[in-house]
Amino acid sequence: MSEPLVTYLPFKAGLPPMGTYLRSLLKRRAFISEFARSELRNQNYGSVFGQLWLVLNPLLLSAVYFLLIYVIGGSSDSTRFAHLTASLFLFYLVANSLTGGVKAITSGQRLILNTSFPRIMLPLSAVVIAFLKFLPTLVVAFVIHAVVGLSYSWQMLWAIPILTIALLLATGLAILFSCINVYFRDISSILPYLTRSLLYLSPILYEASSVSDSIKQFQIVNPIFYLLDSWSRVMVHAQAPELFSLVHAFSFAFMIFVIGTYFFLSRERDFAVRL
């Protein structure tokens, strides 16, 4: 059987035939998984020490932040450490997806120029990599929860929809910024400052309830503020999240995903010229 003929037309902004595109993407889901695993192996995460570092890196970082909070505030407790670690782990799921996705297209230049495939597979692989890095830290979060003697309840099952929203947000950000980076390469240099700003402006080093009234009105523009607050309520305090927080987090995640996906798919055929 002869190989299928691929015709390349001049670029024109607009969505490709979505039915054909989605079927092509689904056929390559095994490739996305294997590509993500190969990238992890290249980063030495296939070894015992590499996998151990997946846990030690955010754990040591949370310990440093906890010490900083103790030095500045003069006091702290085990509940606050559990909040810090659990929130930091989820934050890094989103941040790693973003930092991995931003260069997904530009670093895959040879693959894009020589192979016909849905380009959105590359930022999706970055999200899979971030999720695989997140899974060991989730186990650590439960261990810390047990060690510090926090309570358990069925309300903790809310972690599943919250994690789903976080993955939707992470996917949207990875897709959006991978496309932006094709046209504005400096965005990858600005990104570390953006993620660090989100870290300090989100309820990680502090709980949402401790935010002063004078700045509460600004937290609504932070796409991950209520997401992390809901995660802390569920994972640390074993309480159900507030409905407003879930709606806010999902609305931001869905909006970013739709905008990012549309922008990416409408410009995908221009990538080969820009790289």
Q: Where are the domains of the chain?
A: 43-274
Closest by CA to 144, choosing from 202, 63, 216, is: 63
Can you read off the two tokens belonging to residue 101? 């996705």
Percentage of the chain modeled with pLDDT above 90: 29
What residues contact residue 148 under an 8 Å CB cut-off, 6+ apart? 78, 79, 81, 82
Q: Which residue has the higher pLDDT, 267 or 160?
A: 160
Q: Which residue has the higher pLDDT, 233 or 116?
A: 233
Model confidence at 115, pLDDT cuts 50, 70, 90, reads confident
Inter-residue contact 99 to 195 (CB < 8 Å): yes
Q: What is the pLDDT of residue 108?
A: 72
Alpha helices by DSSP H, listed for 103-224, are: 109-114, 121-147, 159-183, 187-201
Tell me how far apart the 2 most distant CA atoms of the chain are, in Å.
Answer: 74
Task: Measure CA 80 to chain center.
Answer: 23
DSSP designation for 33: H
Is this prediction's pTM over 0.75? yes
Q: What is the pLDDT of residue 254?
A: 97
Cα R_g (the chain), whole angstroms: 20
Q: What is the pLDDT of residue 40?
A: 75
Does position 225 have pLDDT exceeding 60, yes or no?
yes
DSSP designation for 77: -
Model confidence at 101, pLDDT cuts 50, 70, 90, reads confident
